Amino acid sequence: MTETLFDIAALVIPLIIAIVFHEVAHGWTARALGDPTAANLGRLTLNPIKHVDPFGTIILPGMLKLAGMPVFGWAKPVPVIKGRLRNPRRDMMIVAAAGPGSNLVMALIGAVLLGLMVRGITADGAEQGLATMFLVKNLVNFILLNVFLALFNLLPIPPFDGGHIVEGLLPRHMAIKYAGLHNYALLIMILLLVVVPWVFPSLNIVGWLVLPPVEWLNGHYMAIVQAVAGR
């Protein structure tokens, strides 16, 4: 039981940090490009209470972890009013890309910190306590979760960031029709990520489309860890 709680805590803590920075990056970028909506609503804060969705950020990831399934989650979306952006089509793509981009930067920071920790542990040579191992596990999960969130959110379907990017790349008449899919975003997400994989296991989008590049990119971040650790 203690080990399970240890694992869940080492998963939920880095997930909350990763999701909060992801959402705030959207808001910061939107403000820089002309839309102060998120700032006016007090959403440009790193206080997780402002961003955490109890089910999407805590309960669902914990349940998926216990079930041995790929872990994903979401926070309360930062509000962005497309019409307030200086160049709505272009700027909305930039705002959308800012979230995954922030996750890749956070993964790099996590890799450097983990490498420094490993270097210190190796130099110390003593047996490490529970607190140290908990921090190491948090950093390992922090890197992996940030990589996963970055690539997962680039799926080219609503309500993901990749959907907004596709919308901006499409011709205007097609983009208008594509934007209509956002009205069914939650239904699309449940169907594609939960129902379809459950009914047809071979059609697990996360398993065959997201996880392979996640594993590849995470391997490169682990190489950075090794380099910083001096191994």
List active site positions. Answer: 23
Instruction: Please give the Cα distance from 166 to 188 (Å, whole number).
Output: 16
Q: Which of 23, 178, 20, 173 is nearest to 95 (CA)?
A: 23
Q: Which of 68, 66, 95, 67 is nearest to 80 (CA)?
A: 95
For residues 157 and 192, the answer to whether their CB atoms sit within 8 Å is yes
